[in-house]
């Protein structure tokens, strides 16, 4: 009996494997969410850049391209500590957050907007808040092209989903600050100048439309199984796959897929 059922099961498994092999990218992308942000300059910084956080379960790949940061500090490459901040509004502050009026929105003054440090974007090792101000692990220099894959805390994953996670890149050019701010100590690491830890760039992470629509397919909460089935060219299978889609969205999705297939033919 066992042998018979195994034999019967074999063709079904083979078909399943074929279906998956037909569209491995789609099956993977259905479980991956890409969050993106365009970084905005803070505190008179002339830097700019973008960040993408591609999340699959608790694994994230962070890709960052930034230019225009201060290049050197004390004769060495300027270390720019940077983090995913969570736990507050998920917003970037403007100059009105400068409550002490020194012309700089410090880490502490910005915290009611972007929240606490949840992950540190280090170049190696620990990515937890424990390395938040470890200058040796921080990316450095005027231009940063950063890419790293690491495990997010559950709290960070939740914040990303809730739209309350932000990226903050720290480190200002002291020459651009007022004499008082230039002389001030950091509010979070008193052994460092205020300039070293104050935010230069901030961006609010939200779901990227590019990431939400892998391969041009509309994101309708389609399960990987349903999506791979629609790659089969048989109209009957298409129709049955449509049955598991959310009503309304289903019709749009199928029409788009049909149009896409026609375009390929």
| Chain positions contacting Cu ion, by CB under 5 A | 83, 168
CB 93 to Cu ion: min, Å: 12
Question: Is-contact 90 204, C-beta < 8 A?
Answer: yes
Helix (H) or strand (E) holding 56: strand 48-56
**For Cu ion, the closer CB: 27 or 53:** 53
Pairing of strands 199-204, 206-207: unpaired
SS3 content of the chain, % helix, strand, coil (to 5): 40, 25, 35
CA–CA separation, 47 and 69 (whole Å): 5
Q: How far is the CB of 147 from Cu ion (least distance, A)?
A: 19
Least separation in angstroms between CB 84 and Cu ion: 8
Query: Please, what is the minimum distance in Å from the beta carbon of residue 120 to Cu ion?
Result: 8
**Residue among 123, 142, 110, 135 nearest 191 (CA):** 135
Query: What is the smallest separation between the CB atom of 83 and Cu ion, expressed in angstroms?
Result: 3
Task: In angstroms, give the least distance from the CB of 89 to Cu ion.
Answer: 15
Is the separation of the CB atoms in 110 and 204 below 8 Å?
Answer: no
The length of the chain, given as a count of residues: 265
CB of 42 to Cu ion, least distance (A): 11
Contacts by 105-109, CB closer than 8 A, 24 or more apart: 105/42, 105/43, 105/198, 105/199, 106/186, 106/187, 106/188, 106/194, 106/197, 106/198, 107/170, 107/186, 107/187, 107/188, 107/197, 107/198, 107/199, 108/187, 108/188, 109/187
Q: Report the run of H or E that residue 55 belongs to, with start and end.
A: strand 48-56
The residues pairing with 49 across neighbouring beta strands, listed in sequence order, are 39, 66
């Amino acid at each position: 009996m066992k042998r018979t059922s195994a034999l019967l099961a074999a063709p079904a498994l083979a078909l399943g494997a074929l279906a998956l092999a037909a569209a491995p990218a789609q099956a993977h992308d259905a479980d991956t969410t890409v969050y993106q942000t365009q970084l905005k300059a803070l505190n008179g910084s002339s830097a700019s850049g973008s960040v993408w956080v591609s999340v699959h379960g608790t694994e994230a790949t962070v890709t960052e391209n930034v230019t225009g940061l201060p290049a050197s500090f004390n004769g060495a490459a300027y270390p720019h500590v940077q983090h995913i901040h969570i736990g507050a509004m998920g917003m970037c502050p403007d100059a009105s957050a400068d409550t002490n009026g020194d012309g700089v929105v410090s880490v502490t003054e910005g915290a009611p907007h972007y929240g606490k440090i949840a992950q540190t974007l280090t170049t190696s090792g620990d990515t937890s808040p424990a390395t938040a101000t470890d200058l040796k692990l921080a990316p450095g220099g005027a231009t940063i092209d950063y890419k790293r894959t690491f495990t997010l805390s559950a709290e960070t994953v939740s914040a990303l989903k809730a739209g309350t996670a932000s990226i903050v890149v720290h480190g200002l050019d002291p020459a651009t600050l007022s004499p008082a701010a230039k002389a001030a100590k950091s509010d979070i690491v008193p052994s460092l100048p205020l300039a070293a830890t104050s935010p230069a760039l901030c961006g609010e992470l939200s779901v990227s439309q590019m990431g939400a629509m892998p391969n041009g397919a509309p994101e309708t909460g389609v399960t990987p199984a349903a999506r791979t089935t629609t790659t089969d060219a048989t109209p009957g299978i298409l129709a049955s796959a449509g049955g598991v889609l959310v009503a309304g969205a289903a019709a749009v999705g199928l029409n788009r897929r049909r149009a896409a297939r026609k375009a390929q033919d």
